[in-house]
Structures are given as C-alpha cells and as structure tokens.
Structure 1
Amino acid sequence: MSKTDLNDLAWFRVVAEERSFTKAAARLGVAQSTLSHTIKRLETGLGLRLLHRTTRSVSPTQAGERLLATIGLRLTEIEDEIAALMVYREKPAGSLRLTMSDHAFETVVWPKLKPVLTAHPDIRVEFSLDVAFRNIVEEGFDAGVRLGESVEQDMIAVRIGLDWRMVAVAAPGYLAAHGIPHQPRDLLDHVCINQRHETRGRIYAWQFEKDGQAVDVRVNGQLTFNTSYAMMDAVLSGLGVAFVPNSLADPRIASGELVQLLDDWSPMFDGYFLFYPTRRQNLPIFKTLIAALRH
C-alpha cells in the first residue's frame, strides 16, 4: 500500500472518531473539501461505502466500523514508534493532544507547561477544554487530566496537583437579602447557581460530608452553567449561591467579595492526575510532559 493510501486511512480514522467532517478537518488542519475528497477517493478505491452522511452527523457504516477496528491500533502503533524516534533528537519534539477541564488547565497545567513550551519550541500541544469525561483512546487524545477518583484503572496516572475541595459561596449582598444557610438542606430554600455535568447530561448534585455523614443536595436556581469560571462571575454579581473549587473562591473570600458557607461540610477531593495509555509511557515527549507537571 502506498504512502498516500496510508494517509487516506489515517484521515478516515479521524473522521470516524470525530463523527464530523468539520471537527476532523479542524483536528487535521486541512480544508473540509480536501478531507471530503480524500474520503470519497478511499471509498471509491475500496468499492465500499465507509460512512453514513447526513446534514447533521457522520457515522461509520458496518464496513467502516470493521475498517476502523482493523486500522486503529495499527496506525496508533506506527505513530507511537515514529514519536519514539524523537529520542534520537537533541531536544524533545512532537505533538500532544490533551483533554481537561478549564479549571485543571488554568490552575495546574498551564502555569507549569508554559516554560516547557518556551524551552522546547518543537513540542506542539492541542488542548480540548471541557468537563466531559472523554474516552481518550477512542477520541484520539494522547492524555487527559482528571480528579484521581475518576481515572480508569487501565490507565497510567501521575499526580500533578494538590487535593482540593468544592465550597459553597455567596456575595454579602445576597446573604443580607436571603439569610445564611446553616445545613446543606437549607440550600433548598436558596437561589443556587447550578452546573450541568456534560458527560452524564444531568445537573451536578452538591456533595457535602461531615463526621462521616454524606449529603447530596440537588439545588434549584435561575442559572445553569457548564464551567466554574462563569459561575464565579454570577455569584460575584449576587445572583445566588455557587459551589465552586476553593482555588477560585479563596482569593475572593479573602478580599471580602464572597462569604464561604458550610465550611465544616466541605470535604476534600483527590487532586488532578495526568492519565494516559500504558503503551505511551516511554515516549520522550511524555517524559518531558510528566517531568513538567508531576507534583
């Protein structure tokens, strides 16, 4: 099989993983028309329809699923072997595609990674920032960052940050008008700022614990977000009570802009971990990444 054919297969894999020509073209850095032409050429050459196409989505046909299963691991192995050749370069080089929340990016990853990128200009990194739990293997990521409790058992996990906790906070003006909750259940009588969990598709239940007693509260309110940073702006504006990472709230609490609530009910969570498949642990670019982020 020619080199061009291998490239066509690699592009097909990305389209099948992304289930979108638009997203696949952006990930590959090519024009959507070029990608579409390449896939049509591959289908014509094989004499098979590999993708179901609609105006809203793309999905593999039965033949496409079988081809994806056949080539996926092999192409990954080739990519890993090529990446491993970078050990023969004097400086680390290569590409990484990472998934994590915006909070993990801002508080743990970006401050540590900036000097590494400055020192190693041949390292290229693509970040996907959201709170969804991505399947990094199926979706073509090299690694991800999650809280320790949510990392899959078959992944290598490296701690990159301290343990932290979620805290309930509100602006002084809001509390003057609505009163102060003294128990988690008191929040049911308050206007709260919700967060939707993208992976599970439902509103996040606020988790509290005291003296071994765990309490989950599903609060109500006018606003729902999928990121803590937007919630912070809302709570600072006096629009309700928010449940946010303490690293975001602590400076505002210290300045008096926010008041922490239910302090003795706020448990600690495992800190952030970098996780990735076992087969990639010896790649030079991963060693550089781990050295930069390890806590």
Structure 2
Amino acid sequence: MARETMADLQAFLAVARARSFTRAAAQLGVSTSALSHAIRGLETRLDLRLLTRTTRSVAPTEAGERLLVSLAPHFEGIEAELAAITALRDKPAGTIRVTTGIHAAETILWPALARLLPDYPDIQVELNVHAGFVDIVAERFDAGVRLGETVEQDMIAIPIGPDVSMAAVASPAYFAARDMPATPHDLAQHNCVNLRFPTYGGLYAWEFEREGRELNVRVQGQMIVNEISLALRAALNGTGIAYLPGDYVQPHINSGALVHILQDWCPPFAGYHLYYPSRRHQSPAFALLLNLLRYRA
C-alpha cells in the first residue's frame, strides 16, 4: 500500500468518526484544507464518494460507512500494538486526554497533577472541562470523570474521591427579608439560581432525599447559569438560593458569607469516579495517573 494511501485512510477515519473536518484536523494536528485535500485524493483514487458534506455536517456515504466499519478495528489494533511497545519504555510518557467537570478538575484532578507532572516531564495531560457528558470513545478521550451514579454500566469506574453531598445556600442578606425554607417545597416561594447542563437538555432539577423519600424540585429564579462558579457568585451577591457541591461552598459557610439550609434533605452519595472503556490498553502513563487518583478512604 502506498504511504499516501495509508495517511489518507487515517484522515478519512478521523473525519468519519468526528463528523467534522474542523474537529478531525485539530485531533490530527493538520489544517482543514490539507485534510480536505487528502479526502478528495482518496475518493479520486477509489472513484467513490466516501463522505457527504453540507455546510453544517459531514457524514459517511454507504461506501464510506462500509470502509469505516472494516478499517477501524485494524487501525485500533495498530494503535494498541504501538501502545504496548511504548509500555516497554522505562519512563512513563505520552499524552493522556481526560474529560471532566470543573468541580472535579479543581478539587481532585489538579491537585493530583500538580504532584505528578513535575516528576514525569514526558507525560502530557489534556483536561477538557465540559458541563455535559462526552462520548469518550467517539471523542478519543482516554478517560472521563463524573459522579459515580452517572457513569455508564459498560465502563470501568474507579472511585477517585469521597462521597459528596449537595448544599442549598444563600447569603445572610438574602434571608434578611425572607423566611428560610423548611422543606424543599418551600423553594417555590424563593428566588433560586438555576443551572443548565447540556446533558439534561433543560434546567437541572434539584434532588433531595430524607428517610428514603426522594424529591426532584424544579425551582424558579432570575438567574440561569451553566457553571457552578457563577451560581456561587450569585449566591454570595444575595441574588438567591444556589444548590452546589457541599465541599465547594463549605469555606463560605464557615466564614458566614453563606447560610446552609435544608441540611437534613441532602444526604451523601457516590463521589467522583474516573471511568474508561474495559477494552482499553493501559499505557504506563495512564496506569500511573490511575494509581495516583484512586481514592483510598
């Protein structure tokens, strides 16, 4: 097989998987024009249209889908063998790509990486912070970090942090002219800071539980944000009640800047887990990070 055909097939796989020339070019480290030229060259040699292109999307044709299905396992096998060879090196090296939410990135991943990276200069870690869930296989991530109860069953999930609990909080100034809620139902009378996550499609329903009774409460308020840091700022400024991870707001509760309410409705639940496909070949660098992150109570 000619070298250019091999390279063009890799280019085709990247575009077909990403469904985007822009994302595929970023993954391969080439320009979109070079990637488009490679695909056109492959299609010309095969005398077949492999991709259907529109102004908004890219999708494999019937021939392209057949080529994708047949080629992908072979290239994955090559990648696995290369990873196995890398494992023979004395010092862990390579790139680890992890998708995570901002809270886990700040409280768990960053402290661990701050200890790891200085001792292993040949390891590179890419953290992709995303509020919603990401298909780590399709997007070519090595692993993802999410709360234990939200991890798909077909993934290996390793706990990397303690159990967590949520906290409903607001500033003393907010409660100066209002009664504090006694139950989650009372939140209907309050100005609440809503969170919108891509995964849920709509606004996040606040989840409460007490003595086995679960409640999902849809709250209303003047502010809607998609990052917990903005919800915290709104609460500190007296805008309304926010519902955030307990450890995230605890320093502000301790200082008196925030008032913690409905505590008996917020029991702990499974904390953050690092998850990855069961068929994934672990590189020495990934195994090192996994061992460092593994939570030991």
> TM-score, normalization: structure 1?
0.94
Question: How many pairs does the alignment contain?
Answer: 295
After TM superposition, give the deviation of residue 215 of structure 1 in Å: 0.8
Deviations 1:78-134 (A, max 9, x none): 212211212221210122221111111111111102222221122222222112222
The aligned residue for residue 130 of structure 1 is 130
**CA contact under 8 A between 2:18 and 2:138: conserved in structure 1?**
no
After TM superposition, give the deviation of residue 281 of structure 1 in Å: 4.9
**CA contact under 8 A between 1:281 and 1:287: conserved in structure 2?**
no
Deviations 1:185-224 (A, max 9, x none): 1111111111123123121110001111111100111222
**CA contact under 8 A between 1:113 and 1:293: conserved in structure 2?**
no
Q: Runs of 4 or more off by more than 6 Å in structure 1? A: none
The aligned residue for residue 89 of structure 1 is 89
- Cα 1:175–1:136, aligned 2, differ >3 Å: closer, same or farther? same
The aligned residue for residue 40 of structure 1 is 40
Identical columns (%) = 51
The aligned residue for residue 69 of structure 1 is 69
Name which of structure 1's ranges 277-286 and 177-186 shifts more when overlaid on structure 2.
277-286
**CA contact under 8 A between 2:183 and 2:262: conserved in structure 1?**
yes
Q: Distance in 2 between matches of 1:3 and 1:105?
A: 41
In structure 1, stretches of 5+ residues that fail to align are none
> TM-score, normalization: structure 2?
0.93
**CA contact under 8 A between 2:83 and 2:281: conserved in structure 1?**
no
Q: Distance in 1 between matches of 2:62 and 2:188?
A: 49
What letter is aligned with 1:160? Answer: I
Aligned-residue Cα RMSD (Å) equals: 1.7
What letter is aligned with 1:29? Answer: G
After TM superposition, give the deviation of residue 29 of structure 1 in Å: 2.1
Deviations 1:42-92 (A, max 9, x none): 222222222222222222222222222222232222212211212221210
The aligned residue for residue 267 of structure 2 is 267
What letter is aligned with 2:146? Answer: R
The aligned residue for residue 202 of structure 1 is 202
Write out aligned runs for 1:154-169 (5 A).
Answer: 154-169=154-169
The aligned residue for residue 54 of structure 1 is 54
After TM superposition, give the deviation of residue 278 of structure 1 in Å: 1.8
- Alignment of 1:105 with 2:105, yes or no, is yes
Name which of structure 1's ranges 37-46 and 96-105 shifts more when overlaid on structure 2.
37-46
- Cα 1:200–1:11, aligned 2, differ >3 Å: closer, same or farther? farther
